[in-house]
Every structure is written in C-alpha cells, then in structure tokens.
Structure 1
C-alpha cells in the first residue's frame, strides 16, 4: 500500500469539507478525484502531502516512497532557471547514479570481501535507475518538455521571467521527470493546449506508479484513470466508483433516481401512517362503551379494541422509526437559465475585430486578424499555447 487514509475529517470554521474519508491506494492505481467546487478535493491532497492538518483521522504514506506534487516542485518565489529546476527534480536520479559509480569502483578493486552483497545492491539500484529513466535522462527530459509544449524555452531562463502558463507547464514537466511512486495532480490540464493534453494523457496511461488527479475534464479522466473517487457535495464523504468518469456519471444518475423514488415512497408511507393513526385513534374513542353497555362491550368489543390498539401501536412505532432516521430530501439540481436575447442588441455585430496585429518582444502573435461576431454566432478560439488566443 502506498497511501492509507483512515476516517479523515476536516472543517474550516463551520464549513465541513471532509467527513470520515477512508481510502487505500496501491501501486498502479489511477484514480480521479471529483466533486463540486469547495468540497475538499484540494484539501485532501494537501493533507496527504502534509500541508494541512486534519481535524480527525490519518493519512499515512508508505515508508520510503516518493510523492510528486506540483506546488512542492514549483515553490513560490523560486528564482531558479529552467535547467536548475529540472536538475533539482531529478536529483534523486543523479544520487542513484553516483551510488552506482561507487559500487562499480568497489567491484573493480580487489578489496571487496562481500562481492555477493555488492552485486545484489548494484542490481537493485540499477533497476531503480532504469525505472526512473536514468539511462536515457537527456532524451527523456527533451521528450517531456516537447510534449508539454515548452521544449523551445531556453534552459537558462529564470522561472520568474516565464508566463503563468509556461511556468505551470515547466513545473509539470519537472514533476513528471521525478517519476514518483505517487503522483498527485490538481487540475493539470488548465494551461495545456490540445496537443499537450493528448501527450499528457498518453504519459499517464503508461505511468507505472499510483495517480490521484483532481480534474473537471471528463474526457481527460476517461482516458487516464481506472476509478473515480467523489467527495459528496452533501455528506462530504468519499464514494468510490470502479470505472471511468462516464461510468461514474451513469451510476450517480441512477443513484439519484433511486434516491428521489425512495424519498417519495417514504413520504407517501408517512402520510398513510399518519392517516391510519388518526383514523384508528378516533375509532378507539368512538367504540368505547357507555356505562350501560360495558357487559356487551366486554363480550364483543374488547377483542376488537385490542386488535385496533395493536395495529395502532405498530403504526406509531413504524412512524417513530422513520422520523428518527428519515431519507433526506434530495436537493433540487442547479438550473441555470441565461438570458441571451439578441433582439435587445442595438448593434447587429456586437464584436468586430479589424486588421489587428500584435507583437511581444519582436515576436508577432497576431498578424492582420479580422473577424466579426454576429448576434447568432457561436465560435471557439483554438490554437497552441502562445499563438495569440
């Protein structure tokens, strides 16, 4: 087991964001972490890496494993160059390489009295070095940078000189080059264009460690994870779904349908029980005999009233049990009805761009661009990062 989360809870003031979360991850597990904004997804990851303390429960990592988390790779205020950041991210690879060279020197000498132990250690370190891509480190580094669309950034560029998107992608490249045992990603596609997203999907599909990724991109999740963990918007508990995001969405929709139906059935049962209790209570009072009729009542009515009384008590007990632990009312789904009425627009061309050219530091990003947006138009602007969108 790489990660064990046990009965974990966290609140910020009166806002409960996590409640009784329990999960266990093994090597090779690839999970998407989903849920509405504010339910505690990022908080859960920060608890795992030790940035936030839980109110209750534990999050325990296996001894000796390496955890990759982007904010820990790209610290605020870093003044490193791109090359320095990448070298720092792969420091453990260079450490293993130095250990291998030391073992080679020992085996080449004549004073190694325990050659079998040395060979075993050399084999173990060699396997780890190979797993981390140490034998083709330069090629692997270039491939990751190119895949994320930052291969043309000079290695001596200081990180503060990069744009926000460039810095995020360089940081992601450094994180992937760490080849950690457990990879934690929080919205990794925010600054990626289509080509970089496709490359990252392929990389994560081949990734041999465990992956926990927060994302709202269902296509990305469908292509990269094998299970979905949802932090429930209402209970703040973690629910596990073995399958793709589409499978999760289907199961969640079915669960909501069952919830609505079961709630409606229980509400109808409550109404029926209350009507029954009121009716039987009146019947018992109505059937109670006067002073002159007690002999006849005792002969015939006693057993009838006893039966009615038993039924009444059973109904009251059933109602008490339901009211003690009722099915909660399903919340109404959020409906957004935007009022986009083009008839109110005075200008039939609300946006017009004419012969626009823009350059930054001598690099032209827009060249004589002309476009008009009509009232019924729906357009999307696409292109690689840095193209001028």
Structure 2
C-alpha cells in the first residue's frame, strides 16, 4: 500500500466538495478519476500531495514513497524565474546525478585506499551503485531522449527559458521532468490536454508499462479506456467516492446497470409500501363493518364470538403488515436522484451565402518560422472541418486571422454578410475573473436578471447556488462550462472551436458534442480528442511545416486507420 486515505472530508465554507472519501492505492493500480466539474477531483490530488488540508480524515504514505504531481495548468506548477529546460531536466534527475558523482568519488577513493580501508568503501559503493541501477541511472541519457521525443519536445533548445514557452510546451516539459523522476506514485490532472495524437499514443504506452502507481483525472474517454484498470467516481449528490473495476467503458456499463437496478428496486418497494398501507386501511374498515353487523339469530354470544374471531384475525393481518411497513420505513431504498440533463443547444439563423468564409493566399510567419503560406479555400455553410497538426503548427493563429484578431502577412480573409463567429478558445482567456457567473454570462446582453438565470439553469450547466460565485473561484472545468454557455448566448452561425472538449467533465461532453453535430452552420474544430473526432467526422485539414493539406476523407476514418497502424 503506497497511499491510504481514510474518511477524507473537504469543504470550502459551507460547500462540501469531498465527503468521507476512503481508498487505498497500491503499486499496480492504474486509476482514472471521473465526475462532474466542481466535485473535487483536482482538490483530491492537491490534498494527496499536501498542497491543501482536509477538514477531517487522514492521508498516510508508506515510508520513502515519492509522489509526483502534474496539475491541469503548467503555470500552476512550473514557475520560470530564469529556469531553463536543461535546469528542469537536471533537477528531475538530481538524485541520480548525486549518486553518480558519489560513485566516481568512491572509485577514486578505492583506487588510492590500502587494504585496511577498502572494505567500508566497497560496501558503500555496492549500496550506491545498486541504488543508481535501481533508479535507471545507467539508462538516464536514453530515457531523457525517449521521453522528450515521445512528447515531441526534443527539438526545443535545452537552454530555452521555461517562462517563454507556450502553454502547451510548458505542460509537456513539466510532464517530461515528472516522468524522468520516476516517482512511486504519479498524480496527473488532465495529462492529455496539450498533447497531439502521437504524444497521446506514446504516453498511453509509457503509462501502461510504468512500474509505479497511477492516479489521474481525465476527460479523455479513449485514454481512460487504454491506460487505466479502475475508475474512481466522485458522486455529485453526496460527494462520496465510488470504485469501479475496469476501464471507462466497463464503468459506464456497470453504472448504467446499477442505476437501472436501483430504479427497479425503488419502484418495487414503493409499490409494496403502497400495498401494505392499503391492506392495513382495508382491514381496519372491515373490523368496523363487522362490529356494526349483527347475526340473523340475534344470539348475543354467537355475535360476540364471531366478532372477536374476525377481529383477532384482522388484527393479526394488520399487525403483520404494520411490522413489515415499519421495517421498510426504518431503512428505505432512497429515491434515485434525478439525473442532471445538460441541454446544450445552439439557436441561430441560417446563412444565405454559399461562400461563408473565403481564404485567399493567406500567409503568416513569426520571425524565421513560417506557420503557413498561400492558403486559399472557400468554406461553405454545411462544412465540418477538423483542423489538425503538430503543436505549434499555427492552428490557433489561423483561427485568430479568420476572426480578425490577427492580421496575415499577406493575403486576405473575406466573410459573407451576416456572419457571426462563435469562438471557443483553448483556455478561458476572455472571461473576467472578478465577475460572478451571472455577470459574465449576461455581459453585452440586454434583458432581465431572471431571464439570464432561467437560461443558465435551463442549460443544465450550473445550479442556482452557482450564480453569485466569482469566476476566479471556479475550477477549470466550470470555467469551460461558462464559456460554452456564453458561446450559446451569442447565437453564432459559424463555430471555431479550439480543443472544445478540454476540461469538460464526461457528463457534459456528450450533450455538447450533440449540439455541435446539430449546429446548422459551418464548424471548424481543432481537437486531439479521438472519441470526439470519431463522432464529429468532417474534412481533414492538416497544417504542418508551413503547408495546409486538405483531405475530403472523413477525419474519423483517417484516425481509425492511424490507430490501426499504431496498434
């Protein structure tokens, strides 16, 4: 047992996010943590590493256990301060470097020692070299190259400062440093958010063969299916933790079966309680009727005898029914909580033009790096486009050029009359952290407060008690839900979606995906979520090494063939 958690409870003010959570983490465990946004998944990881304290309960680590943690946002964990990539790698392998230096010192000492002093040096050397070997010291240079290549950051100059890296690069460098440490326990919070297809596939394989334990929060259904053998679900209603054996698909099926049985058992018990109450009521009515009815022979003794016999029989029936009813009412099957139905839905006017967006010889570069050149294409109303390519290829920049937020170096973008572009960024860049949820949602809209509250509640993304929460207090997933709500409120007729499934909990994903599929206008999506891509389909646009290639083959078919090759 590497980590033992007993009766953990955590609250922020009056809001309980974790309640009576208990579990044991063993060396062979590969666990995925799921649950709606805001239920305390990231909080649980921070408590495990000691960044936050629980209200009650205890976290116990086995002796000498090393725990490594990667947060959702690299900026939450990696502070630059002049630190270079090489510095981070050396820090990650610090123990190995120290052991290696000590081995060299001992080798020199043994070469000069006489026979009387050699034994203690040999004993220490045996211990240090054994530890060095166990930690993979003889393979460290190979491991650095393997991990950096696997995460597609081996081309980054090692002397580059962490502060000037992009968010995606910083996340991958931080993950590389963590993997190099090879801690006994890996705690990962949304590790796939900034990875491209090749990096995700490499990480899946790496984690499958990892010698330590893994506990990770993830919304990536394909990743969960391939990388974990157990699911922890944090329940939204009671904030308790429930464990399920198997991967994500097995969890969904088990949960569905359990929910169906719960509903059947509850209805059956409700029917039994209703029948018992009716039996008691009918029996009492029959006793009263018997007492009022006299026998024909007018024999008082017979009348009394018959009445007593009937009354005793009825009393027995009543008592039996009452005892059964009392037992049920003392420990009833609770009513299954009503499932929150997320109603993501876009309402917009259809486009009249058949040429919605026209790109004419669009080119862009930063310094010596050419992102793309001479892109010429027309986007039509029914378009479904998946924009893919390596990190840093310029996908987000192309979006910003289409929206007019950045200017191309050459070429032009023409938008049809009446185009209203709805943009979902990778991060919650446009939301004022000092506004409340309600204020952020109603920004630049006209109407009464009650109308906006009604719409937010109608989406199923927030509860009434969330309306006055400050944006800065929301989890990354809750901010993402607020962005989706604001996006729907704009009534766009064109969607540009940059990693739309990032940070969204699994309960929201399917409803949002369905809304995208039903959207009446053109949609261009940047995504590395393989499950989403399989549903989305569409044309495949690949941006790589300055060139945009367009494949009319459905993106899902392309990805399927790619996964087959990898497997």
Normalised to the residue count of structure 2, the TM-score between the two structures is 0.64
1:188 and 1:89 map into 2 onto residues whose CA distance is 18
2:115 and 2:209 map into 1 onto residues whose CA distance is 43
SS of residue in 1 equivalent to 2:370: strand
Please give the residue correspondences for 1:179-218 in structure 2 after superposition, counting only pairs within 5 Å.
179-218=182-221
2:53 and 2:25 map into 1 onto residues whose CA distance is 20
CA 1:134–1:277 in 2, change beyond 3 Å: closer, same or farther? same
2:268 and 2:308 map into 1 onto residues whose CA distance is 35
Please, which runs of 5 or more residues in structure 2 have no aligned partner?
A: 396-567
> Residue 95 of structure 1 aligns with which residue?
98
1:269 and 1:126 map into 2 onto residues whose CA distance is 71
CA 1:262–1:177 in 2, change beyond 3 Å: closer, same or farther? same
Please give the residue correspondences for 1:226-375 in structure 2 after superposition, counting only pairs within 5 Å.
226-289=229-292, 295-339=301-345, 344-375=350-381
1:114 and 1:28 map into 2 onto residues whose CA distance is 41
1:136 and 1:374 map into 2 onto residues whose CA distance is 53
CA contact (8 A) 1:7 1:19 kept: yes
CA contact (8 A) 2:78 2:174 kept: no
Following superposition, the deviation at residue 339 of structure 1 comes to: 4.4
> Residue 89 of structure 2 aligns with which residue?
86
2:345 and 2:355 map into 1 onto residues whose CA distance is 18
Q: Which has the higher relative contact order, 1 or 2, with Cα contacts under 8 A spaced 6 or more apart?
A: 1
Worse-matched range after superposition: 144-153 or 286-295? 286-295
1:224 and 1:318 map into 2 onto residues whose CA distance is 48
1:77 and 1:193 map into 2 onto residues whose CA distance is 24
SS of residue in 2 equivalent to 1:275: helix
Following superposition, the deviation at residue 138 of structure 1 comes to: 2.2
Following superposition, the deviation at residue 288 of structure 1 comes to: 2.7
> Residue 545 of structure 2 aligns with which residue?
none
> Residue 135 of structure 1 aligns with which residue?
138
CA 1:125–1:357 in 2, change beyond 3 Å: closer, same or farther? same
1:44 and 1:228 map into 2 onto residues whose CA distance is 14
Following superposition, the deviation at residue 112 of structure 1 comes to: 5.7
SS of residue in 1 equivalent to 2:386: coil
1:286 and 1:77 map into 2 onto residues whose CA distance is 88
1:160 and 1:190 map into 2 onto residues whose CA distance is 19
Following superposition, the deviation at residue 320 of structure 1 comes to: 3.2
Following superposition, the deviation at residue 349 of structure 1 comes to: 4.2
CA contact (8 A) 2:80 2:162 kept: no
1:295 and 1:13 map into 2 onto residues whose CA distance is 73
Following superposition, the deviation at residue 91 of structure 1 comes to: 1.0
In the TM superposition, what whole-angstrom CA distance separates every residue of 1:125-156 from its partner, at most 9, and x where no partner exists? 33432233311322221221121111111111
CA contact (8 A) 2:171 2:194 kept: yes
List structure 1 runs of 4+ shifted beyond 4 angstroms: 111-114, 117-121, 289-294, 336-343
RMSD of aligned alpha carbons: 2.6
CA contact (8 A) 1:289 1:297 kept: no
Please give the residue correspondences for 1:19-30 in structure 2 after superposition, counting only pairs within 5 Å.
19-30=19-30
Aligned residues: 388
Matched, 1:148 2:151: yes
CA 1:149–1:246 in 2, change beyond 3 Å: closer, same or farther? same
Following superposition, the deviation at residue 165 of structure 1 comes to: 0.7
Worse-matched range after superposition: 174-183 or 278-287? 278-287
Worse-matched range after superposition: 334-343 or 167-176? 334-343
In the TM superposition, what whole-angstrom CA distance separates every residue of 1:329-361 from its partner, at most 9, and x where no partner exists? 223434445545787333344444333222122
In the TM superposition, what whole-angstrom CA distance separates every residue of 1:219-239 from its partner, at most 9, and x where no partner exists? 112221222222222232222
SS of residue in 2 equivalent to 1:154: coil
